[in-house]
């Protein structure tokens, strides 16, 4: 059956890849619920979609993904507002500025809360709904950074690894019910998260990434690197023995 999406939620839709993927979904015919904390930025994304694709094609919902007690009721309210749901994309993410000799649990906590616990809180009710209706698509924005425990950002690498494993479990549970689960692993994308970082290469815009994400999702891919060449990098990185990897400054 050809892939189509009429009703979607994007969590982390106020900027970067989440905003770009929301625009991409709208361009492909979907009505999109935009979720994030910054109301002004959400309103800009909503207005741009409405201007391009018609009034009411996007709706904004202000929410902090660490308010876990509110997630299930907000999810239900959005599904009711949209009168159903075909796809959910969890794009919310944050990184901590951790120095190479720094170990700081206070900085690590929000990284795990936003990148992993927030994803679990949003994707569980979506998984239940999609299982019951025997169709639907779950998309999670992980990272190549989750493919190995590198020196740079321990909690970020761990949270993205945890997210990839959680998504794999959802896929293994839900594929028998006709539900697709796609894990997206971007390399370096030009967004607020990477601005000011040095040593970036193969940089892509958020709009370019969103088109690649759509392609992966519409082809019902399990895991997709963005852009695809990062799959080779990942393969090399994962093949390096631990005893050598710990001596590398990557």
Ligand X SMILES: NC(=O)c1ccc[n+]([C@@H]2O[C@H](COP(=O)([O-])OP(=O)(O)OC[C@H]3O[C@@H](n4cnc5c(N)ncnc54)[C@H](OP(=O)(O)O)[C@@H]3O)[C@@H](O)[C@H]2O)c1
Please count the other Cβ atoms lying within 10 Å of the Cβ belonging to residue 56: 10
**Min CB(140)–ligand X separation in Å:** 9
Rounded to an integer, what distance in angstroms lies between the CA atom of residue 61 and that of residue 56?
A: 13
The one among 4, 29, 38, 56 contacting ligand X by CB under 6 A: 38
Residue 162, interface with ligand X (CB under 6 A)? no
Interface characters, 71-110, with ligand X (x: CB under 6 A): --------------------xxxx----------------
Name the one range near ligand X by CB under 6 A: 53-61, 72-80, 187-195, 217-225: 187-195
Residue 184 in contact with residue 213, Cβ under 8 Å? Answer: yes
The residue behind tokens 């625009």 is: 23
The one among 123, 189, 212, 217 contacting ligand X by CB under 6 A: 189
The one among 3, 28, 37, 72 contacting ligand X by CB under 6 A: 37
Residue 85's Cβ-count burial label (10 Å; 0-12, 13-18, 19+) is buried
The residue behind tokens 């894990």 is: 183
Specify the pairing of strand 179-186 against strand 189-190.
Answer: unpaired
Residue 138, interface with ligand X (CB under 6 A)? no
The one among 5, 8, 9, 17 contacting ligand X by CB under 6 A: 17
Rounded to an integer, what distance in angstroms lies between the CA atom of residue 222 and that of residue 171?
A: 8
The one among 5, 8, 9, 12 contacting ligand X by CB under 6 A: 12
Backbone angles phi, psi at 45, to 5 degrees: -65, -45
The one among 8, 89, 139, 141 contacting ligand X by CB under 6 A: 141
**Nearest CB to ligand X, comparing residues 18 and 162:** 18
Specify the pairing of strand 7-11 against strand 31-36.
Answer: parallel
Distance from the first to the final alpha carbon of the chain: 43
The one among 14, 31, 71, 223 contacting ligand X by CB under 6 A: 14
Return residues touching ligand X (CB under 6 A).
12-18, 36-38, 41, 64-66, 91-94, 114, 141, 143, 186, 188-189, 191-194, 206
């Amino acid at each position: 059956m050809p892939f189509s999406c009429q009703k979607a939620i994007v969590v982390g839709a106020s900027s970067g890849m989440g905003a770009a993927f929301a625009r991409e979904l709208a361009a492909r015919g979907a009505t999109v619920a935009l979720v994030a904390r910054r109301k002004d930025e959400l309103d800009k994304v909503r207005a741009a979609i409405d201007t391009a694709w018609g009034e009411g094609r996007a709706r904004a919902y202000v929410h902090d993904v660490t308010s876990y007690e509110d997630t299930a009721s907000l999810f239900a309210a959005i599904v009711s507002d949209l009168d159903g749901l075909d796809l959910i994309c969890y794009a919310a993410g944050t990184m901590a500025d951790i120095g190479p000799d720094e170990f700081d649990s206070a900085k690590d906590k929000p990284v795990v809360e936003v990148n992993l616990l927030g994803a679990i809180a949003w994707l569980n009710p979506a998984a239940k709904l999609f299982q019951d209706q025997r169709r639907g698509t779950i998309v999670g924005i992980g990272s190549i950074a989750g493919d190995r425990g590198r020196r740079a950002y321990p909690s970020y690498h761990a949270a993205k690894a945890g997210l990839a494993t959680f998504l794999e479990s959802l896929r293994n549970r839900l594929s028998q019910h006709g539900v697709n689960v796609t894990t997206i692993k971007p390399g370096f994308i030009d967004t607020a998260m990477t601005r000011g970082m040095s040593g970036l290469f193969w940089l892509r815009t958020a709009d370019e990434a969103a088109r690649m994400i759509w392609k992966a999702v519409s082809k019902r891919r399990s895991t997709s690197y963005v852009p695809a060449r990062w799959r080779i990098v990942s393969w090399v990185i994962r093949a390096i023995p631990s005893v050598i990897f710990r001596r590398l400054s990557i």
